[in-house]
Structure 1
Amino acid sequence: MSGILEGKNILITGVLMESSIAFHAAKVAQEQGANVILTAFPRPTLTERIARKLPKPAKVIELDVTNQEHLDRLEGLVRDELGSLDGVVHSIGFAPQDALGGNFLNTPFESVATAMHVSAFSLKSLTMACRPLMTNGGGSVVGLTFDAQFAWPQYDWMGPAKAALEATSRYLGRDLGPENIRCNLISAGPLASMAAKSIPGFTDLASVWDTRSPMKWDMGDPEPAGKGIVALLSDFFPMTTGEIIHVDGGVHMMGA
């Protein structure tokens, strides 16, 4: 029986560790029949080492989404490897330390600008870099958010950055819909990834799930989020764009 991504070519960013959601998206995508190519920054060698744990080999391309030269060369590198793309996974986010951990009122604009550029604007940059490759009937762009309708403890300027990411996804869905390119997001619950550990006081934020999640939430299991990404990459959501799918154990729906 063939998988739901059989024969599809997928570019995945953000594979840093085996605990990364992006790693599990790549793993499930390969298991479902996809050809996967990875991008990495700032340490492609680290991603190459982690990629060896995937079911199949995956080429790694260095890509700094804030570097226009890297973005300009991406099309050619991917075309040489895969020929075209059917899907793109945006799993990129960063904020300087002074933009996190309870410093919201004192964060300088330079740090806010960095958070917005890397975490939100890069969805547009990456999508536009990959757009010429998605000519075989369109494609699916999937990003990762952390529910931006709430003000989370310690999350500070990553909150507005995620809100900007969510809005950017909707506008991309609007403007690329005529080309049959869909853009959706997975809103995952807290996971013990390297990105999460960089947020001061992250355990305080994550503790919300211990009391509010109707389903038992496992911070050590990124696979449900990875499966959600793969589902949105597949042809099973052909008319869904600008959407945010929650993979958070149900916390988003709870009133008290």
Structure 2
Amino acid sequence: MSGLLEGKRLLVTGVITDQSIAFSIAKLAQEYGATVVLTGFGRLSLVERIAKRLPQPVGDVIELDVTNAEHLAGLADRVREQVDGLDGVVHSIGFAPQTAMGGNFLDAPWEDVATAVHVSTYSYKSLAMAALPLMKPGGAIVGLTFDATVAWPVYDWMGVAKAGLESASRYLAKYLGPKGIRSNLVSAGPLRTMAAKSIPGFEAFEESWGDRAPLGWQLTDTEPAAKACLALVSDLFPATTGELVHVDGGYHAVGA
């Protein structure tokens, strides 16, 4: 696997801590031979500090607020300062205000729901279009979701946003396919990341997962999801697009 991504150039968003899925993606991508470019939002100094824990140095962390039109318009130029193009883009971005989760589904105001949809759903298309000038046929975009085919405890409007993300990926597959660009998602099981800790009552996801998943499930192991993302941006799936790959120990496939 060491040469799986040899010569590839990947843009990775969402590295916040070294427990994040995005950090595992960046780490493994380097180990598999890729050059990695990172973006960050908010405290860039924190992302820069975490980036120092990667196996190899990376260039300057690019500031990217996916709701900021200027940031998106300037992304390609900022990336070109480090690499001459992109072979893959990883979307690891999601956010919903506390009022839109934790059992507040019926009372969440539209303004907060709109924020969740903008950051967690529409940004997938926004990021793809911002990176498109850097990509050639054979490139791939991959994002992270949490299976939106059912309603989950406490996930509420973030679940709705993820359902939109899954639909958006299929539409990107449709419209970017003629350009030779693939779009796929990985649906990971619950992981104790910073994003998960921000969801009120998230432990409700954890209680039965390990027991019910046929393969079992480790709440702190982000590598399986990361490996699936990297397989999808590699050359191993040249004719796969619009797909959702479950990396959840098989939980989705069994009943009670």
**TM > 0.5 between the two?**
yes
Deviations, residues 188-209 of structure 1 (Å, cap 9, x unaligned): 0000000000000001122130
Question: Counterpart amino acid of 1:227?
Answer: K
Deviations 1:56-98 (A, max 9, x none): 1112101000000000110001112101000000000000010
Aligned-pair CA distance for 1:185? 0.2
Residue 49 of structure 1: how far off its partner (Å): 0.4
Q: Does 1:167 align with 2:167?
A: yes
Sequence identity of aligned pairs in percent?
63
Query: How many Å separate the matches in 1 of 2:2 and 2:113?
Result: 45
Deviations 1:1-60 (A, max 9, x none): 851100000000000000000000001100000000000001111111001110111121
Report the Cα distance in structure 1 between the residues aligned to 2:174 and 2:159, rounded to whole angstroms. 23
CA drift at 1:165: 0.2
Q: In the alignment, what sits opposite 2:50?
A: 50
Aligned residue in 2 for 1:37: 37
Residues in 2 aligned to 1:28 and 1:3: alpha-carbon distance in whole angstroms: 11
Instruction: Specify the alignment match of 1:115 in structure 2.
Output: 116
Distance, in Å, in 2 between the alignment partners of 1:2 and 1:209 is 31
Provide the residue aligned with 1:65 in structure 2.
Answer: 66
What amino acid is the match of 1:82?
V
Q: How far apart, CA to CA, are the structure 2 residues paired with 1:204 and 1:226?
A: 24
Task: Report if aligned partners of 2:153, 2:204 keep a CA contact under 8 Å in 1.
Answer: yes
SS state at 2:106 partner: helix
- If the length of structure 1 is used for normalisation, what is the TM-score? 0.98
Residue in 2 that maps onto 1:220 = 220
Conserved 8 A contact 2:2-2:31: no
Matches within 5 A, 1:1-256: 3-59=3-59, 60-135=61-136, 137-256=137-256
Deviation at 1:211, TM superposition (A): 2.6
- Listed as ranges, the gaps of 5+ residues in structure 1 are none
How far did residue 138 of structure 1 move? 3.4
Which stretches in structure 2 are left out of the alignment for 5+ residues? none
State the TM-score, normalizing by the size of structure 2.
Answer: 0.98
Q: Equivalent residue of 2:156, what SS?
A: coil
* Alignment-mate amino acid for residue 151 of structure 1: A
What is the alpha-carbon distance in structure 2 between the residues aligned to residue 250 and residue 233 of structure 1?
22
Residues of 2 paired with 1:64 and 1:147: CA distance? 25
How big is each residue's C-alpha offset from its partner over 1:151-201, in whole Å with a ceiling of 9 and x where there is no partner?
Answer: 000101000000000000000000000111000000000000000000000
Matching residue's letter, 1:232: L
The worse-fitting range, judged by mean Cα deviation, of 210-219 and 178-187 is 210-219
Matched residue type, 1:178: P
- 1:195-233 Cα deviation digits (max 9, x unpaired): 000000001122130331111210011011111111101
Give SS of 1:148's match.
coil
Q: Which runs of 4+ in 1 moved over 2 A?
A: none
How many aligned residue pairs are there? 255
